[in-house]
Amino acid sequence: MIPGKTTSSEFTRNVATLITGSAVAQLIPLLVTPLLSRMYSPESFGDFGLFISIVSAISIIATARYEMAVMLPHKDEEAFHLVILAFIVSAAVGVITFLVVLVLRNAVNVNFQSHPMTGMWLYVLPVIVVLAGVFQTFSNWFNRKKNYRILAAGTMISSAGTNSTSLLFGIFKMSSWGLFAANIIGQVVLNFYLFSKFAREWKNFFPKFSKTLMKELALRYKIFPTVNVLYSLVGMLQINGLIYLVSYFFSTEELGHLSFSMRLLQAPVSLVGAAFSQVFYQKASSLHREQASLQHLVKETILKATLIGLPVVIVLIFAGPYLFSVIFGEGWRESGVYVSILAPWFFFDFIRIPVSNIPMILEKQKSMFVFTFLGNIILLAAMIYAGTVAHNIRSGLYTLSLCLSAYYILIILWIYNISRKHEQA
């Protein structure tokens, strides 16, 4: 038996398992979206998109990124202690979020006057932040244990719960309320399912729980709450910052079209990119612990992601507006235009995502932070130009997509280069 082929076969099989679950999970919203586009207005999707961007921003720090450290220890007992640590941090961040919203409730009401639904739902933000932190932690634990079927099943269950309730609330014409509530229901169902699968691990390891060990691990992996949190926040702004800036410079309707287009662009990223990323992180972490080569795995992953994403991006660039008008209705043609503009950016980001954990594994977070900060400057400059000079959202999106495509190509080449240098060292 040839070790290289065995490794490649296992990697492909694990990715396929996650993709199968993700495919069903993404197929559900793709089938439901043509109905949702006729039940909810662009303004509703705009409110919802702004709310989700706020959730994503706070969720980044929900566990102080200790959930990412779950993959790294040699012993499962230590990994379990990191799981508990991540849960505790999530609860603390939830409490802090609630106090902040409570103290700043007047500012919340003023700043979200043009998005009243978003302002109202900020009061349940702490609950959603805790749910997000718990899910991220479970995801890394099951990834560590190679329980990809559980992750795939959880994704399907969550998607079914979210989209079925979105349809139900849409039938009753609940506007933005339906999208908000359906998202929470999906998160609750997902975490309940994952906890039911985690219960056996809890019984095995919790009797051995040690506060001293947990504190030792918190210090050992302190780079995650210090450097990695900041890096992740800056990285998050490349997606959510676009929503914030568009909500400031342009109308709720334009924000709704952008949110709708990004919702569908992110579907293939969630379908395949996230699956590649989870399996890659597990395999790369294992190879690094064994001091084995990472270059072949990085190169193979980049090539596979390119071959998978290329046909999709070509179709979206040339047929995006037509497809959107046919599938979702003529009122959503503008979303198709945005998709055709942004598709190259998302394509190169799709290639980057699976190998994006290499800087963390090789302790290159500080260098990656510089790259990520540069990406945010590009985003800010493009949208300020669109809002203050061109006064045209399309001009800003064209500029942004072109610049970020070149930016992600540079990052992909850098990641491959540091993996090669690691092998030479």
Query: What digits encode the pLDDT tens for the residues 319-335?
Result: 999 999 998 888 899 99
Single-letter residue type at 291: Q
Q: Per-residue pLDDT for 112 more than 70?
A: no
Give the model confidence (pLDDT) of 347-403 as tens digits: 999 999 888 888 878 878 778 878 888 888 998 899 899 999 989 999 999 999 999
User: Residue 65: which region, alpha, beta or left (left: phi > 0; alpha: psi -120 to 50)?
Assistant: left
pLDDT of residue 190: 92
Question: Of the candidates 205, 221, 237, which is a domain's last residue?
Answer: 221
The per-residue pLDDT for 13 is 66
Last residue of a domain, one of 203, 221, 239: 221
Query: Do 197 and 233 share a structural domain?
Result: no
The model carries a pTM of 0.69
217 and 239 housed in the same domain: no
Q: Are residues 52 and 180 in the same domain?
A: yes
Q: Are residues 281 and 383 in the same domain?
A: yes
Say whether both 73 and 206 belong to one domain. yes
| Residue 395 shares a structural domain with residue 246 | yes
Cβ burial of 272 (10 Å; 0-12, 13-18, 19+) is buried
Q: Report d(CA 344, CA 339) in Å as an integer.
A: 9
Q: What is the pLDDT of residues 224-239, one digit of tens each?
A: 888 777 767 776 776 6
The answer to the question of residue 25 being in a domain is no
Q: How many domains does the chain have?
A: 2
95 and 241 assigned to the same domain: no
Element (H, E) at 309: helix 295-327
Cα–Cα distances (Å) from 183 to 59, 154, 189, in that order, read 14, 15, 10
CA distance 272 to 98: 35
Task: Name the residue range of residue 7's domain.
Answer: 1-19+226-425
What are the Cα distances from residue 34, in Å, to 161, 238, 367?
17, 27, 42
Q: Which amino acid is at 150?
A: I
Residues 129 and 173 in one domain: yes
Q: Is the pLDDT confidence value at 42 over 50?
A: yes
Do the Cβ atoms of 253 and 43 come closer than 8 Å? yes
